[in-house]
Structure 1
Amino acid sequence: MRAGRYLEHKEARIEVIPLIDIMMFLLIFFMVVTLKMMEGAGITLQLPSSKTATTMQPPVKVAVGVKEDGSILVDNQAHTHESLTALLKQKKASAPKVEVIIAGDKTTSLQTLMSVMDDVRAAGITAVGIATKKEAGGA
């Protein structure tokens, strides 16, 4: 038994297999993310032509805020029930689809929110939602 055996220096090695695993994971991750970013761009198609083709416009989204005292805000401007209906009718006339999200204060009464929803429906808009926040412990 040699006395110098414990003092021998081992040559340093680079473990390549874990590096390959990490690089493959990153490659797959970025491929999936890139494909999600370019929806429909992965397929090359020769689209047919049409003389009456038009560009589809995305829906106009309007956020309506309702404070605790019942005041209505759209784009930080106060509105009455009548002016809200008139504003939404104007937006509906200029866009093919309008979506409205009603964001009420936590203590706003349900009747107040329903009155605002009635104003939205009176403008002819059926895509209406109420904004909430997700609870921390919710399933």
Structure 2
Amino acid sequence: MRYFEQRKARIEIIPMIDIMFFLLVFFIMITLRMIPATGISSQLPQSSTAQALPHPKLLVVLQSDGSIRVNDRVMTLAALTAKLAAAPHPEQQVVTIAGAKAVSLQNLLAVMDACRKAGVTQISVAAKEAP
């Protein structure tokens, strides 16, 4: 007679939790793809020997008017040197300089000198790969 007994319906909670976590991860990944990379648009110089580097820890942007931007803040050379020197280990810090096409070589060397005065030894220059 047990065969004809009515059983209570049960809701299995573990598979539902798995599905909710999957949906959460899915929506987070989609949202991150929808957010554009913020930054300053500039036309980088082109090089036929450009190599892909890991994402820079500190990006210094040289604009065509001669101004310097670090983390969307305009800085002077002295402020840049002070910021880099204030880091715990400036010799291990990686700095990438991204300059517009119209930036003079003197401005580039001034920024490199400011980085070297702070003790930074790993300096790279950003460029686009030439077609």
CA 1:121–1:94 in 2, change beyond 3 Å: closer, same or farther? closer
How far the C-alpha of 1:104 sits from its partner, in A, is: 0.6
Q: Distance in 1 between matches of 2:119 and 2:90?
A: 12
Identity among equivalent positions (%) equals: 39
Residue correspondence of structure 1 range 44-63 to structure 2 within 5 A: 61-63=57-59
User: What residue is the counterpart of 2:92 in the other structure?
Assistant: 97
How far the C-alpha of 1:96 sits from its partner, in A, is: 6.9
Tell whether 2:107 aligns with 1:112: yes
Are 2:98 and 2:126, in contact at CA under 8 Å, matched by a contact in 1?
yes
Q: Name which structure has the greater RCO, CA cutoff 8 Å, separation 6+.
A: 2
How far the C-alpha of 1:79 sits from its partner, in A, is: 0.3
User: What residue is the counterpart of 1:123 in the other structure?
Assistant: 118
For these two proteins, the number of residue pairs brought into alignment is 76
Question: Gaps spanning 5+ residues in structure 2: where?
Answer: 1-55
TM-score after normalising by structure 2: 0.55
Q: Distance in 2 between matches of 1:89 and 1:95?
A: 6
Are 2:90 and 2:120, in contact at CA under 8 Å, matched by a contact in 1?
no
Q: Work out which of the residue numbers 58, 79, 86 in structure 2 matches 1:83.
A: 79
- The amino acid across from 1:76 in the alignment is D
TM-align CA RMSD: 1.6
| Deviation digits for residues 9-51 of structure 1 (CA, Å, limit 9, x no counterpart) | xxxxxxxxxxxxxxxxxxxxxxxxxxxxxxxxxxxxxxxxxxx
How far the C-alpha of 1:94 sits from its partner, in A, is: 5.5
Q: Distance in 1 between matches of 2:90 and 2:77?
A: 21
Q: Distance in 2 between matches of 1:125 and 1:95?
A: 5
How far the C-alpha of 1:125 sits from its partner, in A, is: 0.5
Give runs of ≥4 in structure 1 deviating > 6 Å.
Answer: none
Q: Distance in 2 between matches of 1:95 and 1:115?
A: 18
Question: Gaps spanning 5+ residues in structure 1: where?
Answer: 1-59
Tell whether 2:126 aligns with 1:135: no
